[in-house]
Amino acid sequence: MASSDERTSLGSNYQVFLSFRGPDTRVGFTDVLFHSLNDTGICVFRDDEEVRVGERIDGSLQRAIDNSRIYIPVFSRTYASSQWCLRELVQILANTSKSEGKKEILPIFYDVQPDDVKLKTPLYHDAILNLEREKKLSTEQVDVWRKALMEVDAIKGWEVKKYKG
């Protein structure tokens, strides 16, 4: 089977784009979800590389977001502390908005509550504030991320409790 990058360079369209914070879910939940979807014949994109500071959404990752029909953001405990995840989320919402109903978002709340994503608890609220302070980001940029989190939280999703076995 071709890797995500190989399929994108060949021009394939993905059916599903997974947006997730690697350290939280890459090895467990997201990996199982990725393989389960692939095993049923669904073409899924996940970024297998850790994104480095200062990188932009472009190239194969941008094409994967643009060409996917379903987006699955996996909101986890540190999702909002990643500029990369928040940028992906903004792009996902923009693509969904302009798709005239042809694309959809299916959020998963992994070990977080919808209220966390709505910024009603310290978990995501403080993560955004820390990004703003530590990275010296503009209020405008941070407001775009806040708006995106509030917008996606309005979509009914699935709550998944972290397995502690």
The catalytic residue positions are 88
Length of the chain: 165
| CA nearest neighbour of 110 among 44, 157, 51 | 157
**Helix, coil or strand: residue 34:** helix
Instruction: Look at residues 114, 115, 113, 95 and name the one whose alpha carbon lies nearest to residue 105.
Output: 95
What is the token pair recorded at 98? 């302009």
The sign one gets for the Cα dihedral 93, 49, 119, 162 is positive
User: How far is the C-alpha of 154 from the C-alpha of 90, rounded, in Å?
Assistant: 15
